[in-house]
Amino acid sequence: MIPGFSAATAISDGGAARPRHVAIIMDGNGRWATERGWPRLVGHRRGAERVKQIVRACPELGVDWLTIYAFSTENWKRSTEEVLGLMKIFRRYIEREAVGMASEGVRMRFIGGRERLDRKLQDLMASIEARTAGNTRLNLTVAINYGGRDELTRASTRLARKIAAGEIETPTEADLADCMDTAGHPDPDLVIRTSGETRTSNFLPWQAAYSEYEFTPTLWPDFTPQHLSDILGNYGMRDRRFGGA
């Protein structure tokens, strides 16, 4: 149970529809630290702690799939110190959370291009994916070195190879989806971005074509399970028609 958070209270909303898959653009770590006069990496470390709380709250809130944007293909443009620090935080997070993820029934997977990541981090990612492969309580997907345009380019290349090999004659949307990093994952019902920015930043452009969006001014280190619960409650009042009348 998350201290100060009551799942029983949070979900007592009269049975309103809840999103099965929530995706989050976790923005504002660096700004949170800078506002306090601290190094940006302090904000990233605090943000990693917040991830643990949100992951633990999701099953209690009826969320089956959680996808989080940890590091984009554009984030390599940041200072070498910040990038190296982030990679260190990722390694520590995976090492420390591996046992807990397995015991709490969380299945952890990663999307994005792995070839640019260091070998130790790649090995840790593969290890926790294998270790949690049988878990079903929550599906956690972490986007590292991920960019939607990059994913679409790589998926198109895979699809072209299948066509050239004669495996596919007339490609469909489903064929392209099967070549994406998220093959087999349901599309997100709801995408949340913290920190007050109102752009999608190259995050799941294909998968989120019909997603609902929620932009909150709360910086990610301050984003609590109660914030998530409130947003999920608002989602239940939306009318999703998918192009219908």
* Residue 242 neighbours by CB distance under 10 Å: 6
Calculate the CA 123 to chain-centre distance: 20
Three-state SS at 23: strand
Check the annotation: does 109 bind a ligand: no
Check the annotation: does 46 bind a ligand: no
Closest CA to 189 of 205, 213, 216, 223: 213
- Give me the count of residues in the chain: 245
Structure tokens at 30: 């660096």
What residues contact 30, with CB distance under 8 A and at least 6 apart? 40, 43, 44, 82
Active site residues: 27, 75
Question: Does pTM top 0.85 for this prediction?
Answer: yes
> Strands (DSSP E) along the chain, which ranges?
21-25, 65-72, 106-111, 138-146, 190-193, 212-215
Three-state SS at 210: coil
Tracing tokens 């633990």 back to the chain, one arrives at: 56
Calculate the CA 178 to chain-centre distance: 19
* Residue 206 neighbours by CB distance under 10 Å: 16
Q: pLDDT 10s digit of each residue in the chain, 245 long?
A: 555 555 544 444 444 588 999 999 999 999 999 999 999 999 999 999 999 999 999 999 999 999 999 999 999 999 999 999 999 999 999 888 878 888 899 999 999 999 999 999 999 999 999 999 999 999 999 999 999 999 999 999 999 999 999 999 999 999 999 999 999 999 999 999 999 999 999 999 999 999 999 999 999 999 999 999 999 999 977 766 556 55
Q: Taking the domains of the chain in order of start, what are their residue ranges? A: 19-147+187-233
Burial (0-12, 13-18, 19+ Cβ within 10 Å), 149: exposed
Check the annotation: does 76 bind a ligand: yes
* Residue 106 neighbours by CB distance under 10 Å: 22
Structure tokens at 86: 């982030």
The CATH superfamily label for domain 19-147+187-233 reads Decaprenyl diphosphate synthase-like (3.40.1180.10)
Check the annotation: does 115 bind a ligand: no
Structure tokens at 226: 């109660």
Calculate the CA 102 to chain-centre distance: 18
